[in-house]
Structure 1
């Protein structure tokens, strides 16, 4: 009995793709109209989106790719396409996508495409995190074959453990307090955890 071949990530795309620059422009345009990505344009979601634009602007100015990681990015055996599921209101996405864009920027072998989660339900369903539609989610694909090299997201592993622990036992900490602590963690860590994880992920694909 034959089994069907799983669809490649590129075959599951149903919405438009954006470069980091066009994604940022899209969010600016939506905010100017009192909207964000997705269907929920409540004031709360607009507030999150405005905060995220400020976070991305800050990382655009301050994020740096370590030399060891830059060497790995420059030594990839085959070009990769990084497809990242995101939404403008997602705080974790705003904290990590600028660094992902910096990595793509310093490597001639990486192309970065951002896609909206809610416009790509089949792709999101294929790359759930513990059964949840967690974003950002990066799917790295071999350009020649379209096959998946690795995935990353929705956040660094050490931070994911903190989120899981909080959900299991908030220990009196409100959701607002916990979210604030997560964003402080990102600021203090300065992308070091993300860089370390990508060094491990990329090494098998380097010369």
Structure 2
């Protein structure tokens, strides 16, 4: 889901970065009083997690990257998509998104698949375009070696948006990262049980220690 325009620091074309989106995550964590948190994200959300783990390591207790990448390709196509969506909305993307998102055409007709496509149809056009701008400028390949958070990388064997090579690059670049390959497409909806099992095992590992709840603050008794 693209962020509403009002949350963006600067919604003007070309101004939004993954760092800006990561700041929104930290704002949400601060709102809930979470000094540290376990982070899992798919695709662009995974990129946000990589940025947080690289530049705000004190906040990230563990990291799970699902069908994501340290670099989503050349900036030109992302900028072209941003221009298209600003001009016409997300409707032109609905015909091609199933081929990028799902392993099989039938996945698009499941209730969950239809819900995802419905979210795309209703996405804030400025927010979606800003996310495309962020991906156009995004490249954290050089930062992977500095990530210290315990990391799970999940790659989809049928992912055409971020092919398995992207997951392998993440797993090879992040020290002691674990790679799990699942028989799924880009949004990993075809094998929910396998994905849940991978995430549960990752969060149950000794290095991913449970986090304590933030302390409640009470007003002093008059």
Q: TM-score, normalised by structure 2?
A: 0.28
Q: TM-score, normalised by structure 1?
A: 0.29
Greater CA radius of gyration, 1 or 2?
A: 2
